[in-house]
């Protein structure tokens, strides 16, 4: 019996907000004989590409609606699994005079938010809707841009181009910038999901399962 020394490739499509976790943790080299390739983008863009035949083995989405959409189109080979908790926080650039609490957000110099159709935008909307109407109005006056992808929000604050952004805690922590907490009662329920994409031949490769198991156990310890 010969040994199968053929290198396999696994393609992981993941929401941009997961880029840091995935590139920090050692998810490349732990599975023997396997190359792991990542593509990061907004969850919706990735889903669109999957619908058009993009060669993803695994998809990690920042919002369950995107995953449900793919499931309804019969593109998943198994049901998605929820993983990871995340929360919204307000990250600030040190170049501007600092706010002391999230309530002061309407007083920021400039704010960037997630685009309404992206997961970060949907979650942000859910949070903002709970605040008083005039507070929201004041805040929207300071919004200078809406991005389709949370990594862009993070970069803009990191570069000091904007004062504040509402991002995920994981994004804020990786910037090492100070951030403001948003109390639990206002937090939207953020649900990341992971699923296997249906591919020919129609069974999930063992290396792919290994990777997913590795990832999920890493997330449990976070």
Partner 1 sequence: MTRSQISFLAISLPLLVVILLPIASLFLVPSFDDLWLGIQSAIFWKALWVSGWTSICSLILIILFATPLAWWISQQENRIWEDFCIVPLLIPPTVVGLGLLYAFGQQGLLGGVLAQFNIQIAFQPIAVILAQIVVASPLYIRTLIHTFREIPQQTMVVGATLGLSQLEVFRLLILPSCRASILSAGILTWARAIGEFGATLLFAGSLMGKTQTVPLAIYNAFMQDVSIAVSLSISLIVLSVVIFVFFRWSGTKV
Can you give the binding site for partner 1, defined by CB under 8 A?
A: 11, 16, 19-20, 23, 37-41, 45, 48-49, 51-55, 149, 151-152, 154-155, 158-159
- The neighbouring-strand residues paired with 180 are 90
Q: What is the DSSP letter of 106?
A: G
From the list 162, 17, 192, 191, the residue with the least C-alpha distance to 91 is 162
CB of 85 to partner 1, least distance (A): 22
From the list 99, 112, 120, 114, the residue with the least C-alpha distance to 181 is 99
CB nearer to partner 1: pick between 42 and 80: 42
d(CA 40, CA 44): 11
CB of 188 to partner 1, least distance (A): 23
CB nearer to partner 1: pick between 154 and 163: 154
CB nearer to partner 1: pick between 171 and 191: 171
CB nearer to partner 1: pick between 56 and 128: 56
From the list 48, 51, 45, 42, the residue with the least C-alpha distance to 73 is 51
CB of 21 to partner 1, least distance (A): 12
Pairing status of strand 192-196 against strand 58-61? antiparallel
CB of 63 to partner 1, least distance (A): 18
């Amino acid at each position: 019996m010969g040994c199968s020394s053929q290198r396999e490739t696994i393609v992981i499509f993941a929401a941009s907000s997961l880029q840091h976790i995935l590139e920090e943790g050692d998810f490349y080299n732990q599975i023997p004989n396997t190359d792991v390739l990542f593509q990061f983008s907004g969850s919706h863009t990735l889903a669109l590409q999957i619908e058009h035949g993009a060669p993803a083995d695994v998809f990690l989405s920042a919002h369950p609606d995107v995953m449900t959409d793919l499931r309804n189109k019969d593109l998943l080979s198994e049901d998605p699994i929820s993983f990871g908790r995340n929360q919204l926080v307000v990250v600030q650039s040190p170049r501007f005079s600092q706010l002391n609490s999230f309530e002061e957000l309407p007083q920021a110099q400039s704010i960037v938010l997630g685009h309404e159709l992206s997961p970060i935008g949907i979650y942000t909307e859910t949070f903002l809707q709970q605040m008083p109407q005039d507070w929201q109005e004041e805040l929207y006056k300071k919004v200078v841009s809406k991005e389709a992808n949370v990594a862009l929000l993070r970069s803009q604050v990191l570069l000091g181009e904007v004062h504040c952004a509402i991002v995920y805690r994981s994004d804020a922590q990786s910037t090492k910038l100070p951030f403001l907490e948003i109390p639990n009662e206002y937090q939207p329920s953020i649900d990341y999901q992971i699923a296997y994409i249906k591919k020919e031949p129609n069974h999930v490769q063992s290396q792919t399962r290994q990777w997913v198991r590795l990832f999920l156990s890493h997330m449990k310890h976070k």
